[in-house]
Structure 1
Amino acid sequence: MPDMKFSSYFYGDEAMQFTYFRIPCQLITHPRFKHLSTDSKLLYGMLLDRMSLSIKNEWYDDTGRVYIYYTVDEVCSNLNCGRDKAMRLLAELDTGKGVGLIERKKQGQGKPTRIYVKRFTTQEIPPQPEKKPEPPAPPPGVEFADVQKSDFPTSRRRKNPPQE
């Protein structure tokens, strides 16, 4: 067999001949996802890639959500790992046990599990200033000037004198 010599560099658009998995930067940088393993982040990128195939096949449920089929055996084959690790990675991403990036729906009767890939974006809700309750409006015909105010607060219960 003749020796093959590999070029050390890419020239022009040679890098475009490959297929890539896109892993969102937010999975790497956002504190919410820091505890996820790199394997589960890679798996999420693979699940996102599979979404494009489901869209082409028009795999939508009754509510219009896209779903995918990605069996545990496929995860094992693609990530070159055992069944236990594949199950752990899916659980790490799942809504029930993990971070909530996917939702799995069993179909039963030997059918593969449907996987709904959820959005990874997080929307941080800015803190809202506390609103002070507005004083109740007086009934019609009553002015605040007509209301008497006590010099002594009466929020405490009055002490009843002992009965003799």
Structure 2
Amino acid sequence: MQRISIQQVQAFEQFYRIPKALFISEKYNDMKLESKVAYAILRDRFELSVRNGWVDDDQNVYFVYTIAALGDLLSCGKNKVLGIKKDLGEHGLLEEVRQGLNKPNRLYLGLAIDENDEKNSPEPLVQAEVSKSN
């Protein structure tokens, strides 16, 4: 095993982030694990679109990800990718808009939200001065 140094983490390590809501919210309990991983991959591409300014006329961020490219990354075939995209769509996490004329479809990512988050969130922190005791 090679231990990871701080320099390696800062320079080389890249990772996908998966929202906790996908695991703790009842809304996503029946969602397949590979769909949750695919959401993280699509979110990464979404963030690239944000940096590149890919927004539609309504100021919504869109991105493009081919079925083949997602299948290669997830090591699965076309039918599996289509099932994953369907699963994400049914959970309100992915919308696909056809552009026609041999253009790739635009993908829009939905926000993964824990419906209990607002109710269970702690009160906002209040700043207070701390006096020195001597």
TM-score, with structure 1 as normaliser: 0.66
Aligned partner of 1:70 in structure 2 is 65
- 2:41 maps to what in 1? 46
Aligned to 2:104: 112
Which one has a larger percent helix, Structure 1 or Structure 2? 2
* 2:4 matches 1:10: yes
Partner Cα separation in structure 2 for residue 33 and residue 13 of structure 1: 37
Name which one, 1 or 2, has greater alpha-carbon Rg: 1
| Alignment partners' CA distance in 2, 1:33 and 1:60 | 27
- 2:88 aligned residue (93, 116, 123): 93
Aligned alpha-carbon RMSD (Å): 1.7
Larger RCO (CA within 8 A; separation ≥ 6): 2
Which residue in 2 is equivalent to 1:121? 113
Aligned-residue offset at 1:75 = 1.0
Query: Structure 1: 5+ residue runs without aligned partners?
Result: 1-5, 127-164
Q: How many residues align?
A: 117
Matched to 1:22, the amino acid is R
Long gaps (5+) in structure 2: 120-134
Deviations 1:85-140 (A, max 9, x none): 0000001001xxx11111110111111110000111144587xxxxxxxxxxxxxx
Paired residue for 2:23?
28
